[in-house]
Structure 1
């Protein structure tokens, strides 16, 4: 029997989390069984419980990882409002809309997260708060209270706009929703 290095388990766990994040965003949390998630990671079902107590434990870890990854991507944006404008345009793009599996976990999973257990809701709360704090810091660092209120409005509008655009069967209308969302977001940032 082959012996694994001590780095093997955390690397394998992270691979499961990353693959599950893509699958959840693509097919939903409820639409993704443990066997499919483990197959995506190239592992057997039996390996699942060596890494997670339950599917709920995996979901909470995936939510944490997905939001942390989203927040880390903001570091690649230009500083201040120019970076925030870039974020808005990228977030509300047809490419983001059409690729839920690689996009924002909020737009893909928010309705399901609302029905999850406390650990997942807490993971989402912590991650969403960090994202809104990053947005607020780019809006008006000199007025944190006003910036926080504006950041909450901006983030919720962006997520809702993307969700609505994804739900529309009329591609032209869906694109119009995204374009109007960009205009609304930019106006809100002023």
Structure 2
């Protein structure tokens, strides 16, 4: 019998193995402005070595009939040259939310991934990629949730309305406390199981 994290593992790629482009990051870089073409260079590294050097160009109602993202360069030793169409959805209180149309499924997504050995970006579902957290044991998954909550807490904008900011902060703190309690319970279970197994081994010895 194995312990936490043991068992058969899938050969599917995970999101941790892939290059990832988030539309929220494109918006932060000012690449989704109307009637503009914007260019951004991005390099991915692994173990101190560059594994991808890509140029991202967005065209939002400029030359192309519909908004799109063109990705060119090299990644994982392959030449990359692909176009992903974009779609905007107006929000009730102003502004818009951007989506990419997955080239493999035709469905909306907010992130694009490129698994090693492939030549074009698509959604996580389009490539049937597993999330990295799916291969983690419950304790590691809990630590990841804590880190994510802490990062979101630090990223809360000071320009967000105070009541909303306080509600978000309270929810994130509650989530962090809940996850920490669950990790403590799991650790207690592990220690009890290990102690019981040690007692049985000594009794059989």
Specify which structure has the higher proportion of strand: 2
Normalising by structure 2, we get a TM-score of: 0.30
Higher-Rg structure is 2
Larger RCO, structure (CA 8 Å, separation 6 or more): 1
